């Protein structure tokens, strides 16, 4: 299977993972996996059957001044408490089900109002970038929060590469849609209109805080966190940070977004973290930090999730109760 791990490996990791596979997975699983490899059956098969952490590989990333110095949430919680409805609506469903998602090979199509539209193989997309560690606060619209050490690079680097036209005002994003790999998609009562789509204004997308993440805690992204590549926009509610991106389209008109389509009164296009604008059904004034036990104390939610100094000017003169 190691053979199957393609260029991304060689490109991003100057050295092999310091942890042997046998140390991170149960011995019987390891041995079975080894049999498969030795049997030289389809490499893809063994890749699909191996547990998730065996797939994780270390990433080299430089620290960033844009990181918070707050204590990151435990990896266990970041990878077991997820909203990724394609794999089920329960918080632990994605961790249970997302292993079925094939993330290799992966291509991202960047098109629309650009001079150089392209379909990038993920390896090619990552070739010219320098990965950084960005420790960001994440505030979910449901009223909980985490601190996550992402590994990624500014979204603007990809946008600049395709050269947006002057008419481009918005950026639309789309998550992969593979019903055969996604147990939460389908049924006669779909929770959302698939595929999951999101959008940003072009100036928001060009902001240095907006990143495309390919890892967390120094390793490649687990599937339940949006592998292999996802958006992270830390001053907006978590659902804006779309996972497992296959398409980025530059547009003149504001693109539709999934939760806004599902309930326009509750979820706006902007969805900036704002303690003063409540969700119609619950308050956004406070948040519960994840992973601090039964007696965790709610803490006040900050305007723009605490990134106001950097991003407030993007919304100067806008009525944020109207553009929520």
Partner 1 sequence: MLHRTDVAKKLRPSPAVRFRLLRAALYWVGFAPAVWVFYLGFTNQLGANPVRTLEQELGIWTLRFLIATLTVTPLRNLTGISLLRYRRTLGLLTFYYALLHFATYMLIDYRLDLQAITADIVKRPYITFGMLALAILVPLAVTSNDRMVRRLGSTWTKLHRWVYLAATAAAVHYLLVVKSWPLEPIVYFAIIAVLLAYRLGKHLRRRRRRRPAAA
Question: ∠9-13-14 over CA atoms, to 5°?
Answer: 125
Cβ atoms of 291 and 248 closer than 8 Å? no
Of these, 14, 27, 295, 317, which contacts partner 1 (CB under 8 A)?
Answer: 295
Is 293 among the residues that bind partner 1 (CB under 8 A)? yes
- Interface residue with partner 1 among 4, 288, 302, 320 (CB under 8 A) is 288
| Nearest-angstrom CA–CA distance, 123 and 107 | 9
- Name the nearest CA neighbour of 34 among 2, 68, 71: 2
Measured from the Cβ of residue 170, the count of other Cβ atoms closer than 10 Å reads 21
Helix (H, G, I), strand (E, B) or coil at 135: strand
- Residue 194 sits in the site that holds partner 1 (CB under 8 A): no
254 binds partner 1 (CB under 8 A): no
Single out the residue of 40, 115, 166, 281 in contact with partner 1 (rule: CB under 8 A): 281
By CB under 8 A, residue 75 contacts partner 1: no
One of 14, 40, 65, 297 touching partner 1 (CB under 8 A):
297
Complex with partner 1: residue 191 or 206, whichever CB lies closer: 191
Q: Which listed residue (10, 127, 265, 298) binds partner 1 by CB under 8 A?
A: 298
Burial class of residue 265 in the structure, from the number of CB atoms within 10 Å of its CB (0-12 exposed, 13-18 middle, 19+ buried): exposed
65 DSSP assignment: T
Q: Which residues between 87 and 126 bind partner 1 (CB under 8 A)?
A: 89, 91-92
By CB under 8 A, is residue 283 in contact with partner 1? yes
Q: Indicate whether 290 belongs to the interface with partner 1 (CB under 8 A).
A: yes
CB of 148 to partner 1, least distance (A): 13
Only one of the segments 62-70, 78-86, 128-136, 171-179 lies at the binding site for partner 1 (rule: CB under 8 A); that segment is 78-86
| CA 271 – CA 200 distance, rounded (Å) | 10
Peptide bond into 195 cis (omega under 30): yes
Cα separations in angstroms, 252 against 58, 109, 138? 39, 18, 29
DSSP letter, residue 56: -
Closer to partner 1 by Cβ: residue 59 or 146: 146
Residues lying near partner 1 in the complex (CB under 8 A) = 76-77, 80-81, 85, 89, 91-92, 141-142, 144, 189, 191-192, 259, 262-263, 278, 281-283, 285-286, 288, 290-291, 293-298
């Amino acid at each position: 299977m190691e053979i199957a791990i393609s260029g991304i490996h060689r490109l991003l990791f100057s050295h092999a993972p310091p942890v042997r596979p046998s140390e991170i997975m149960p011995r019987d699983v390891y041995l079975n996996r080894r049999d498969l490899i030795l049997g030289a059956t389809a490499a893809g098969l063994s890749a699909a059957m191996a547990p998730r952490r065996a797939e994780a590989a270390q990433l080299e990333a430089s620290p960033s001044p844009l990181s918070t110095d707050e204590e990151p949430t435990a990896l266990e919680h970041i990878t077991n408490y997820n909203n990724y409805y394609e794999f089920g609506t329960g918080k632990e469903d994605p961790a249970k089900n997302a292993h079925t998602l094939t993330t290799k090979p992966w291509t991202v199509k960047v098109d629309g109002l650009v001079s150089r539209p392209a379909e990038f193989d993920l390896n090619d997309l990552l070739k010219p970038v320098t990965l950084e560690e960005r420790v960001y606060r994440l505030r979910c619209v449901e009223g909980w929060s985490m601190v996550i050490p992402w590994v990624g690079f500014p979204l603007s680097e990809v946008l600049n590469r395709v050269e947006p036209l002057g008419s481009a005002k918005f950026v639309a994003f789309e998550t992969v849609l593979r019903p055969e790999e996604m147990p939460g998609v389908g049924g006669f009562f779909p929770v959302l209109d698939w595929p999951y789509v999101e959008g940003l204004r072009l100036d928001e997308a060009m902001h240095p805080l907006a990143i495309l993440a390919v890892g967390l805690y120094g390793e490649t992204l687990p599937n339940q966190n949006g592998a292999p590549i996802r958006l992270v926009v830390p001053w907006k509610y978590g659902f804006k940070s779309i996972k497992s991106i296959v398409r980025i389209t530059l547009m003149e008109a504001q693109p539709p977004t999934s939760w806004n389509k599902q309930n326009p009164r509750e979820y706006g296009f902007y969805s900036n973290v704002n303690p003063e604008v409540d969700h119609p059904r619950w308050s956004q004034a406070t948040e519960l930090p994840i992973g601090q036990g039964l007696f965790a104390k709610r803490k006040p939610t900050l305007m723009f999730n605490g990134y106001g100094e950097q991003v407030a000017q993007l919304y100067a003169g806008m009525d944020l109760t109207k553009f929520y």
